Amino acid sequence: MTKQITRLRILALVAGAMTLVAAACGSNETGSGSATTADGGGRHTSPMHMPSSVAQALPLRAGERFVNLTAPQPYTPSAPNGGTDEYRCLVIDPHLTKPVYLTGTQFEPGNPSIVHHAITYAIPPESAAEARAKDAATPGQGWTCFGGDGLRQGGAWVDTWTPNHRETLLKQDVGFPLKPGSLLILQVHYNLLATGGRAGASDQPRVRLRLTDGTAATKPLAMVPLEAPIELPCAGGESGPLCDRAAAIADVAKRFGVGPGSREARLVSRCSKGKPVPGNTQHCDYPVPQPMTVYAGLGHMHLLGRSIKVELDPGTPKARTLLDVPSFDFDDQKLTPLPTPVDVKPGDTVRVTCTHDATLRRKLPELSKLPPRYVVWGDGTSDEMCLGLLSVTGPGGKSLG
């Protein structure tokens, strides 16, 4: 399936009226409940028969168990500041009473027609009170959270869901450590292009956790993000106020706030010595500060993405490719385990490279009616990202930046 044909399915999903009556709040051992949902073709079916990632779980391995969790209430997203996107952080309590390791995660949107992607964060017990207070102080369920989870000490990034994502398991004895009293935050990106940003359909997401008590040899996993700037000018034949870079950056800040709006400037400063380099392809190098072992990689872009690659020590005799997606498909983003884990040491460099294509904007129904823009890093579906994610073990491991 070509990129264009695949992305036509996005419009079909956005235009659909699919809903899910989710199971009651709380956790339960294996089982998918009796909710009714709809598949990508709009046919309403039972989860026992639908092609559901939660219903069709990979088998449990020795020592593992499932815990199924559902957001406490349905949430109806509404994009702020004249935009067409909302990021909402929803708090879920897994009621952990002892230390465990998270070895697999499967997010499931209640209403896939409006969910662009979702990130699962593990919130340590020392930040649980802040998360609960933020939830209680914000009208409705959860809070709007462009950029991150919105907490002073952010949680650990443990999973990324994108359309058609399926749980990926690592064969090694590794997992994300969760302490008693930890919470989960589901940061859900709601795409409301079909409604012009207005509130409409609701969503009640769920998530299935694969937990194990671990062994003395279990190594703690961490997720390392690698970001590069986006400096994609308007395509030939396009014109308009937002084709001006400064105007486009101001528009991102207006829709998502000063913090997310300044991300492009921070990335340009870090990755290209403060000088924007307009073009289809951008990269960023990250010196490795500490030893770590890489087990898997995932690349994330939006609808204008063409390719993404993560390399170790590029241009040297010891160069290795950690992730290579030569033909990026938004509907087929997945965590890819390395055939053999790769040890990385201080002095090494990891590079993320992304290529985008502004001409796709005119070919995609979801974007074709929007004003042309100089595309920079932004949280919206009509903006872009260049994000490589590495699953690693090693001290710290949160960031190479």
User: How far is it, in rounded angstroms, from Cα 328 to Cα 4?
Assistant: 11
Per-residue pLDDT, averaged over 249-273, amounts to: 96
Taking 90 as the threshold, does the pLDDT of residue 238 lie above it? yes
Between helices 263-271 and 245-256, what is the axis angle to 10°?
130
DSSP string, 337-369: EEEEEEEE-TT-EEEEEEEE-GGGGGT-HHHHT
- pLDDT range class, residue 43, cuts 50, 70, 90: very low
Looking at residue 52, its pLDDT comes to 42
User: How far is it, in rounded angstroms, from Cα 48 to Cα 358?
Assistant: 41
Looking at residue 49, its pLDDT comes to 25
Under 8 Å between Cβ of 297 and 160? no
- pLDDT range class, residue 163, cuts 50, 70, 90: confident
- Answer with the residue of higher pLDDT: 306 or 49: 306
Looking at residue 263, its pLDDT comes to 96
The tokens of 65 are what? 């168990």
Under 8 Å between Cβ of 178 and 99? yes
CB crowding 43-82: b at 16 or more within 10 Å, else e: eeeebeebebbbbebeeeeeebebbbbbbbebbbbbbbee
The tokens of 186 are what? 């589901």
Write down all domains in the chain, each with its CATH number in brackets: 3-217 (2.60.120.310), 222-393 (2.60.120)
User: How far is it, in rounded angstroms, from Cα 268 to Cα 68?
Assistant: 41
